[in-house]
Amino acid sequence: MLSLNSFARQRFFVAFEAKALLKYIKQTPCNGANICQINSCSVHNKYQQSYRRYSTENKKDEIVKSSSSTGSEVSTTLETVKETTKTVYYSGIIAFGLGLTGIIFYTILKELFSRNSANNIYSKALDRCLKNDKVLLSLGEPIKAFGEENARGRRHHTNHLFYAKDGVNYLRMKFFIKGSRKRATVHLEMKENDSRNFEYRYLFVQLDEYPYTTIVLEDNRVETPTALHTAKEETLALT
């Protein structure tokens, strides 16, 4: 459409110039046939030159427009590729973030609600200690539970260790309880049974102050005089 309009405009200017020349010739008296013939030839040559000039300019305009159109198409393609790459990149980041969030939530939920999780075992062991009359009498109510202090003075809930021995999974744990009169250390060890659930090997409370009494809540090991002493030695692995 642009090329047709440009060509029509050029034809208009050429025709206008030729008409002006013819008018000039008519107004100029002829001194002979040769002069008129020369004037006619001049008009014709002038018309041909004008047509060639405008044709050349038209071709240049078409070349410029074609180059501009090609450059615009290349620029549009590059922008499309750039936007697509950016979209894929950000989509990958979002997918990675969602996957990582899912793993974190799964780990937290498993730790909170699994019956074999350290948090669940700690809660049940503490509940047994708080319901034991000997523990309540020795420490005094109310009783609070806490873990070991770190370098910043913060107390973790539990100090525990999962390990395997002869193909059987074990969990060993230690935490602290404190009453209105005394404080004590709770030691326990769980063993995985055939149903893949943990059950107590032992659970006892050791007073940290005089008279350093040991209150045994459960002991399912072989009954020997050295059984409790062995349990105390085993708990040293957590210190």
Q: Which residue in this structure is represented by tokens 């202090």? A: 149
Paired sense of beta strands 144-146 and 159-165, if any: unpaired
DSSP label at residue 31? S
- Mean pLDDT, to the nearest integer, of 97-125? 79
Give the Cα separation of 118 and 220 in Å (integer). Answer: 20
Task: Please name the residue that has the structure tokens 């999780």.
Answer: 117
Q: pLDDT, tens digit, for every residue of 169-228? A: 999 999 999 999 999 999 999 999 998 899 999 999 999 998 899 999 999 987 544 555
Which among 213, 212, 210, 230 has a CA at the least distance from the CA of 221? 230
Task: Tell me if 170 sits within 8 A of 164, measured CB to CB.
Answer: yes
Whether this prediction's pTM lies above 0.95 is answered by: no
> What average pLDDT is seen over the chain?
74
* Residue 125 in this model has a pLDDT that exceeds 50: yes
* DSSP letter (8 states) at residue 225: T
CATH T-level topology, domain 118-238: Nuclear Transport Factor 2; Chain: A, (3.10.450)
Instruction: Report the alpha-carbon distance of residue 229 to residue 118 in Å, rounded.
Output: 24
- Extract the tokens encoding 71: 């450059």
Q: Which pLDDT score, from 0 to 100, does residue 178 have? A: 95
Q: pLDDT digits over 79-104, tens only?
A: 888 888 888 888 888 888 888 888 88
Flag whether pLDDT at 35 surpasses 60: no
- Asked whether the predicted pLDDT for residue 21 surpasses 60, the reply is no
Domain spans, the chain: 2-77, 118-238
- Rounded to 5°, the CA angle 8-9-11 comes to 65
Contact 214, 229 (CB under 8 A): no
Q: Is there a contact between 190 and 201 (Cβ–Cβ < 8 Å)?
A: yes
pLDDT confidence of 132, banded at 50, 70, 90? very high
Kind and range of the H or E run holding 153: none
Q: Is the peptide bond before 142 cis (omega within 30 degrees of 0)?
A: yes
